[in-house]
Amino acid sequence: MRFSRVYKETVLDSSFENWKKLLSHYFRINQAHLLMLARTEILPKSLVVEIARALSELENEKIDEKLPDGIEDLVFLIERKLSQKIGIEKAGFLHTARSRNDIDATVFRMCVREKLIEVAEELIGLVEKLSEKAKRNVRTVLLMYTHGQPAQPSTLAHYLLSLAFDFLEVLEGLISALRVVNLCPMGSAAITTTGFKIDRKIVSDYLGFFEPVENSYRAIVTSHWINMALNPLKVLASDLSRFAQDVLHKASCEVGIFNFPDELVQISSIMPQKRNPVVLEHLRIRSSVSFGSFNAVEVAFLNTPYQDVNENGDFVLFKFSDGAEVLKQALQLTKEIIEKMTVNEDRVRELAFSTGSTATELADHLVREYRISFRQAHQIVSEYVKSGMRYDSLVENFEKLTGKRFTLSPSQVEEMLSVENFVRVRQVMGGPGEKSIEEMLQSFEDRFQNGKHQIEKVKLFIEESLGKLQDDFASLIFSRS
Amino acid sequence: MRFSRVYKETVLDSSFENWKKLLSHYFRINQAHLLMLARTEILPKSLVVEIARALSELENEKIDEKLPDGIEDLVFLIERKLSQKIGIEKAGFLHTARSRNDIDATVFRMCVREKLIEVAEELIGLVEKLSEKAKRNVRTVLLMYTHGQPAQPSTLAHYLLSLAFDFLEVLEGLISALRVVNLCPMGSAAITTTGFKIDRKIVSDYLGFFEPVENSYRAIVTSHWINMALNPLKVLASDLSRFAQDVLHKASCEVGIFNFPDELVQISSIMPQKRNPVVLEHLRIRSSVSFGSFNAVEVAFLNTPYQDVNENGDFVLFKFSDGAEVLKQALQLTKEIIEKMTVNEDRVRELAFSTGSTATELADHLVREYRISFRQAHQIVSEYVKSGMRYDSLVENFEKLTGKRFTLSPSQVEEMLSVENFVRVRQVMGGPGEKSIEEMLQSFEDRFQNGKHQIEKVKLFIEESLGKLQDDFASLIFSRS
Amino acid sequence: MRFSRVYKETVLDSSFENWKKLLSHYFRINQAHLLMLARTEILPKSLVVEIARALSELENEKIDEKLPDGIEDLVFLIERKLSQKIGIEKAGFLHTARSRNDIDATVFRMCVREKLIEVAEELIGLVEKLSEKAKRNVRTVLLMYTHGQPAQPSTLAHYLLSLAFDFLEVLEGLISALRVVNLCPMGSAAITTTGFKIDRKIVSDYLGFFEPVENSYRAIVTSHWINMALNPLKVLASDLSRFAQDVLHKASCEVGIFNFPDELVQISSIMPQKRNPVVLEHLRIRSSVSFGSFNAVEVAFLNTPYQDVNENGDFVLFKFSDGAEVLKQALQLTKEIIEKMTVNEDRVRELAFSTGSTATELADHLVREYRISFRQAHQIVSEYVKSGMRYDSLVENFEKLTGKRFTLSPSQVEEMLSVENFVRVRQVMGGPGEKSIEEMLQSFEDRFQNGKHQIEKVKLFIEESLGKLQDDFASLIFSRS
Amino acid sequence: MRFSRVYKETVLDSSFENWKKLLSHYFRINQAHLLMLARTEILPKSLVVEIARALSELENEKIDEKLPDGIEDLVFLIERKLSQKIGIEKAGFLHTARSRNDIDATVFRMCVREKLIEVAEELIGLVEKLSEKAKRNVRTVLLMYTHGQPAQPSTLAHYLLSLAFDFLEVLEGLISALRVVNLCPMGSAAITTTGFKIDRKIVSDYLGFFEPVENSYRAIVTSHWINMALNPLKVLASDLSRFAQDVLHKASCEVGIFNFPDELVQISSIMPQKRNPVVLEHLRIRSSVSFGSFNAVEVAFLNTPYQDVNENGDFVLFKFSDGAEVLKQALQLTKEIIEKMTVNEDRVRELAFSTGSTATELADHLVREYRISFRQAHQIVSEYVKSGMRYDSLVENFEKLTGKRFTLSPSQVEEMLSVENFVRVRQVMGGPGEKSIEEMLQSFEDRFQNGKHQIEKVKLFIEESLGKLQDDFASLIFSRS
């Protein structure tokens, strides 16, 4: 046996399984590289056509179940099969002006950009759900908490748009990440390019990359691009964990602000009030576990030499993919949660009232209306709350302390303390008042559509590039050689 | 005592020490907020002037050594001192339409943007050093490694520009991060803005922010902005650790490609060849420790509720600052290393020759020149290397295997195997050949100057904004009230 | 200047500050090593006495503010001062059969064992508080939650003892860690010991170590001991974060099971029901931040060569110390929380009743008493809960479904549904019933006293060893040389 | 459909796949619990026998491919199948005095203890290989490095035993971890035990646990046990990464101290000296990736409430298993590396001589022999090394500086500078001298055999317990009911 049994079973065989999933990327690269060798006339047309036809056949054949002895990996296996078709002399020319190194680096970037786009698409779906639900809930009152305690009333739209803006920043981060990731290493060969007069731009274009990774050493050794790719994903995972934890609290039976339908809840026959929204815990778990997978990738690169190392290989790459898959699940669960949860507005009003959450607004009103100081206003309202919200005590206290006449009627005071009034008066930029929310929705929508459009553009660009590659490759095969 | 002794000593006192370092940000916010309250006529001019003068006095006074009993924090302490100057009734008006929450969130963003700019400036200095050294070493030959083994010759410029492009991506990441960080929470008050007709744009402009964080809930609760800020820093830390590890290898006494001057080396009197470049280890340590500090920040937010929580507070913020300070040290050490290390070109040639690193080029040449296949070329060159590079064996073997005449003279073969030739022929995009490097330097320079300019622009924008704030505040103080 | 300015300021000066805090350990090592050199007669008595007297003087002198130029570190500075006192020839003999490497490794282990013992002592104090509070609250009813929803009644003692057992496992982990940490590297010299006939046991004994780290290479290079030391600390940090999160929930105003006194609460004058127990958030933060610091230490060692590297140095060591200090704060806060929080038992009963938490017990009783199946019992009780707990509906339903006579009186049913009964019947091992708790307290107490005793023993062992060192060193100084 | 499609596909279906792998544990628990219910006479014998027979049939039946609609998980699916066999009334009795909670917690501990034992067994195999190779290489010289530079000669045995002691500490950590993990939650039911008079010890004994987790709340909620379990594994992963990095250096072509056979090396036909021992990189990757997986588990628990949460569930558990599997691969690779690598002793001598690594020994000898000071000795030897090791210059310099006569012959000096002499004189505890190594091997062997024996004992204990369970369960089935 060429390799030690332990090495083969532990390293080579597992790598073989990984590479099977990456194989179509490898074939695309073969096609693009071959077309480039033809266009630059590095190889003669007839040879190119012969290789192309063999490649085409190979792609339609079944892959071996197991890695045969003595073959290092799937790429060598494919090369051997190619040699069996057209002879080793001719087959060898496919490898002109390239190396395992630039092929691998290119495959991995194709894989990562795919994952980034998939996550971006899930995220876009979620953000659309958030924005749509926000639009339908501009007046749905909600209670906002600080440090686990009720603080101030607001609206569901205000809350959901907060998340939506966070996710929009993540989306913009994904677009930046794609700009770093979607560059083509091909042509770097082992690490210093080649003496052949290749045209790296042709290969890059065919494969849907924005442009080549210019410096060829960097194209092979850097771990930047994968770290940059996982950055926005980690932020997203962290955000989702925080969302889950907050909704778990608001959906707890004692708080009871958010309700979930039976299809997302586990019920106890004997404790009918116990409705565990375990979907939220599963969201939290997927968030922190995807976070952990991305962490593992980051840590794997640390303190490794700035050279071509196997950390830039399939084993670590699949750790990244695992994280992305779990994160996609988390996004799906979040979308489901957003879609199906409802607000118990009566409970919001009850809690807001019982905890005096709207009392600050009455104090603010006294400041604005009677030009008294904050301190006085707070003292008066505080006494009022302590009195159990007795109107007469409010009037008496106010007039005694300020020497002014109190002109609000009992119903005016009540209205002043209502959740709806609290929200209504907050019309400045970013507040929960209807006008503010409308403006927010507008500025959100513009930025979001732009982000969404950019993701779509990248996706389309890649698809069209690969489409052109398939067309040109087909023409090559059917051309007279 | 108002607070439990343990709570005061463990939490409040340490927080007080942190806040002392943040105090100037807090005074800037007071000034901007006050000017806004005046311009929007929410407070009468005369009151504003009185508060402004008192604030101005306060800023010049010495801060207490210790947090007095019963006072929660430095901000409350300042407020009390303000009250002592102009009476609690008037002092209280400064707090109109704001809250501890939006003040804190604003202070923290001012602090983080400062750190980002400081790191960016160190990074710019380092990148300039890299680019300058690259320009001066376009022809300095270097040996490149893969998996810890010598692979191919290249140049110092090629190597340094690889790093430079990595760092440029980090710089661009810092610019993106600043776009996320440099937004103003002021006006969000506790979490839902206020009923007062404030103008958030005024405060944001005075404080050098690009614009307000629109959604007020988000302005208080999100941990996005700090996670987004630390992302490029973590990538940088990881890159530096990889650079350190690689240079440690190239500077080891057995490899001996990089030399360091005595001022960066610890020497043993008895082992003169032992020159420990421990500066590299200290770089590696600072890289991984700053990476770890940023990790600690990320992890602290995980699974906390999406509410206003104290994780968004000084304790975690200073963990971020610690990381940034250590990273700045790492950048300084790297700049020193880049500046002072030199290449032992003779050793490069010796290693390249002895390991046959240039032999691939001879094989490639045979393919191009004689149109033989790769396989044949490799076989011929391989035999030649095994023969101890005997010219006659090369000729004989070539002619026997190909049936063609070998036309290269001994000196041509030698030249073909030289490190210089290897580099020279690699003229395609991204390679180490002089033309490629010149193009690379050009495309690098353009992007870098743009990045540098953007950082400078942000810095200038903040300085001018704060300058205008100081001017307008001074005018206010000296205006007739 | 001997060293580059950047290197000196960034590396040497910061290291100097760290070493100042470690200086007494260094002097202890000097003493122990010198006594050993005397006892083994490697150095003549008179020389030893002269060195000893000079060392003694030096320890009482003030340390320089700044590291002088050209001196690498504090240890070299001390050595130079020693030379100034007795001449470089004699001073040099102190360094016989030792090296900076084994001194450093020994200092660091002395520092880490100190931190471990400090944390252990804080932890012991906390566990004693838990156990004492548990003893006083064997019958204090509490509601237990699963997945954020009320599940079953229990007692405060049951809850606190759960924590106490967790912490006991941590304490036992600390004892194991001490067994790994408290071994002496001295005598390993650079990495291979020495040709002098030293006695490593003497030095180890004087310094309070259990024994030498046998393999001398390992004594210098391993990072095991520090990783092993931080393991139980990380588990503890994680536990505390989980405790904080749970109590935050139980202390929220809607749940209201745990109360906190004013001294641990931040109050709003206008929202009297809003009592933010922010001490819990500060505990959570300190838990996750200390966790993060320990993580940073672990990560710093990853992928560094298994050699003597500077990661085994003061910079990383102080990261460990930082984590331990923050963790000690977390323990102090936890102790304060345990001491001062109280249970609102009426609220427990109210919630238990309203959520039907005790209904399972009624069902179990029906199974045991009437030998009906679980399914039937659950169905009957479920109907009863849905009926609003109407007795007649229970009787009717029971008799219809089982064909048996229902013999429990209304008050018996009520009793059956009481929180107190629920707890009382759970007398099996580990349950909240009084008998079970008494047994648990007993088995806990035995194990805890053992753990506590072991920590005390280690501490005493170290103190006595160092005491003997001081005595013998004093004798040496005052002996006729 | 009972559950939302997204929830079912994302959460329930993936959980179903995980549980299939845990099913045998679940059946063991059913058997043990049923036997206990019989022995305590909580259930009548005839009912128990009927349930037992049905369970036995079920275990032999094929599991469904997919989770049917409306069924929450595999355990409910099995329960339904049981009901289909013997009727829901009877089947329900199996669930007497237990809950999903204690079953899950027990399954997970059975799974983790299995992984711990598997890792321990791989580790034992590796340690045996280390110790055996050390024994065979007591005199095989090796060069030791500090900070990446050659420092001092030693032996392969010295080096390997350093690792062996590290791993022994890990093994002892695994034994401690098993003491924490191998405790039985059964009988805790939901979280507060039960009113039935169960005997938790019986179940615990049958399942091969040391004893029950006493406190029932803790049995369900703590994440301790899994954190404690992963602690030694993380240390091991870190150690292996350091070993890999060190061997990568020593096996590099420039250093050339360690050689690897072809079966572990990737060779280049054209660069014969380039022999990439990529197996070492794959070891490094597996080390850091398993480290990362364990990190993900730790992080997932952080900041979750100290309640029964789904983090204590299959999703996170399988993250732990993933880490353990990758770590087992790392151990297998390490064993292979240890077995097959050889030392190039000539290269060791060459490097030791050329770097003056043994010169310290000559200086030490001068100190001991001529009673001159270190400073003088170092100066003399330093001049000698600088002179290119000319004997006459040594003599002249010595006599001039010391005024003493130099009595060593040229061959004595040469011998003094040999690697063999350097090693030979280091006979104190822990050094590389033969006597020291023999003692080290002895003390190592004793401790290791003890550790190995303890793992074997635990494994046997579990096997015998489960054997007895099978026997008693078989007796039950075949008894007259």
Q: Where are the beta strands (DSSP E) in D124-173?
A: 141-146, 149-155
Q: What is the ipTM for the molecules in this complex? A: 0.95
Q: Distance (Å) from the C-alpha of residue B253 to the closest C-alpha of chain D?
A: 6
Which residues lie below 8 Å from residue A205, measured CB to CB, with a gap of 6+? Answer: A465
Strand spans (E) along B68-111 = none
Phi–psi pair at B155, nearest 5 degrees: -125, 160
Q: What is the dihedral of CA A117, A122, A126, A128, to 10 degrees?
A: 60
Assess B481–A contact: CB distance below 8 Å, yes or no: no
Residue length of chain D: 481
Task: Report the distance separating Cα B147 and Cα D285, nearest Å.
Answer: 12
| pLDDT higher than 70, residue C481 | no
Following CA atoms D386, D389, D392, D394 in sequence, which dihedral angle do they give, to the nearest 10 degrees? 60
CA D94 to chain centre: 38
**Chain C contact present for B54, CB below 8 A:** no
Q: Are C230 and C219 in contact (CB under 8 A)?
A: no
Question: How far apart (Å, rounded) are the C-alpha atoms in residues C302 and D245?
Answer: 9
State pLDDT tens for residues C322-373.
Answer: 999 999 999 999 999 999 999 999 999 999 988 888 888 898 889 888 988 8
- List the Cα angle D458/D464/D466 in 5-degree steps: 105
CB B246 within 8 A of CB A307: yes
CB atoms within 10 A of CB A221: 29
Q: Check pLDDT > 70 for residue C190.
A: yes
Tokens of A66: 């197991």
DSSP A12: I
Residues 135-174 of A with CB under 8 A from C: 146-151
CA–CA dist C23, C64 (Å, integer): 13
Q: 3-state class of B430 per DSSP?
A: coil
pLDDT at A406: 93
Residue B354 φ then ψ, to 5°: -65, -25
Put simply, the chain C residues between 1 and 40 with a CB less than 8 A from any chain B CB are 1-4, 6-7, 10-11
Which residues in chain C are closer than 8 Å to B268, comparing Cβ atoms? none
What tokens were used for B189? 């008050």
Q: What angle do CA B34, B36, B37 make, to 5 degrees?
A: 65
Q: What are residue A68's phi and psi, to 5 degrees? A: -65, 155
CB contact under 8 A, A273 and C302: no
User: B386 and D281 in contact by Cβ < 8 A?
Assistant: no
Across chain D, how many H-helices and E-strands are there? 20, 8
Distance CA C225, CA C176 (A): 11
What are the domain boundaries of chain B? 5-95, 101-349+441-466, 359-417
| Contact between residue D203 and residue D466 where contact means Cβ atoms under 8 Å apart | no
Among residues 312-351 of chain D, which lie with CB inside 8 Å of chain A?
A: 313, 315-316, 319, 329, 332-333, 335-336, 340
Q: Do residue C428 and residue D193 have CB atoms under 8 angstroms apart?
A: yes
b (16+ CB within 10 A) / e for C273-295: bbbbbbbbbbbbbbbbbbbbbbb
Backbone angles phi, psi at B184, to 5 degrees: -100, 120
Phi/psi for D136 (5° steps) reads: -80, -5
Cβ distance D250 to D258 under 8 Å?
Answer: yes
- What are the residues facing B153 on neighbouring strands? B143
The dihedrals phi and psi of C281, each to the nearest 5 degrees, come to -65, -40
The answer to whether D194 and D187 have CB atoms below 8 angstroms apart is: yes
261-280 in chain C: CB under 8 A from chain B: 261-264, 266, 278-279
Return the residue of B nearest to A202 by Cα: B429
Give dist(CA B96, CA B103) in Å, integer: 12
D413 — contact with chain C (CB < 8 Å)? Answer: no
Q: What is the largest CA-CA distance in chain A?
A: 105
Band of the pLDDT at C382, cuts 50, 70, 90?
A: confident
Q: Tell me which DSSP letter residue A308 carries.
A: B
How many of the other CB atoms lie within 10 Å of CB of B14?
Answer: 18
Q: Do D146 and C190 touch (CB under 8 A)?
A: yes
Fold classified for D101-349+441-466: Fumarase C; Chain A, domain 2 (1.20.200)
Give, as one character, the DSSP assignment of residue A208.
T
Q: Do C190 and D152 touch (CB under 8 A)?
A: yes
How is residue D15 written in tokens? 């959980």
Across the interface, do B336 and C6 touch by the CB < 8 Å criterion? yes
Residues, chain A: 481
Residue D211 CA to residue D202 CA, distance in Å, equals 9
Please choose, from the candidates D392, D393, D404, the residue with its C-alpha nearest in 3D space to the C-alpha of residue D366.
Answer: D404
φ, ψ of residue A429 in degrees (nearest 5):
-45, 125
Asked if residue B98 lies in contact with residue B189, where contact means CB atoms within 8 angstroms, the answer is yes
Q: Which residues of C touch B335 (CB under 8 A)?
A: 6
How many residue pairs from chains C and D have C-beta atoms closer than 8 A?
A: 330
Give the separation between CA B257 and CA B341, rounded to whole angstroms.
10
| CB contact at 8 A, C278 and A147 | yes
- Going from the first residue of chain D to its last (481 residues), give the mean pLDDT of each consecutive group of 10, the final group possibly shorter: 89 94 97 98 95 96 88 90 93 92 97 98 98 98 95 97 98 98 97 96 98 98 95 97 97 94 79 78 97 96 96 95 97 98 97 87 88 85 86 92 92 92 96 98 97 98 98 92 56
Distance CA B270, CA D367 (A): 15
| Tokens (6 digits) for C203 | 């030095």
Beta strands in B88-196 (DSSP E): 141-146, 149-155, 183-184
Would you call A153 helix, strand, or coil by DSSP? strand
Name the residue facing D272 among B253, B270, B356 (closest C-beta): B356
Buried b (16+ CB within 10 A) or exposed e, B222-241: bbbbbbbbbbbbbbbbbbbb
With a cut of 50, which residues of chain A have pLDDT below it? none
DSSP type of residue A3: S
Q: What are phi and psi of D227, to 5 degrees?
A: -65, -45
Closest CA to D119 of D435, D446, D458, D382: D458
Interatomic CA distance for residues D203 and B234, integer angstroms = 50
* Chain position carrying tokens 């040469």: D414
The residues with which B144 forms a beta bridge, in sequence order, are B152
Q: Interface partners of C (3+ CB pairs, < 8 Å)?
A: A, B, D
Structure tokens at A168: 């929009």
* Positions of chain B with pLDDT under 70: 1, 268-273, 481
Rounded Cα gap, residues C424 and C426, in angstroms: 6
pLDDT per position as a tens digit, A80-126: 999 999 998 899 899 999 999 999 999 999 999 999 999 999 999 99
The dihedral built from the CA positions of residue D91, D92, D93 and D95, taken in this order, carries a sign that is positive
Q: What are the CA-CA distances from residue C5 to residues B40, B390, C70, D134 (Å)?
A: 53, 51, 11, 46
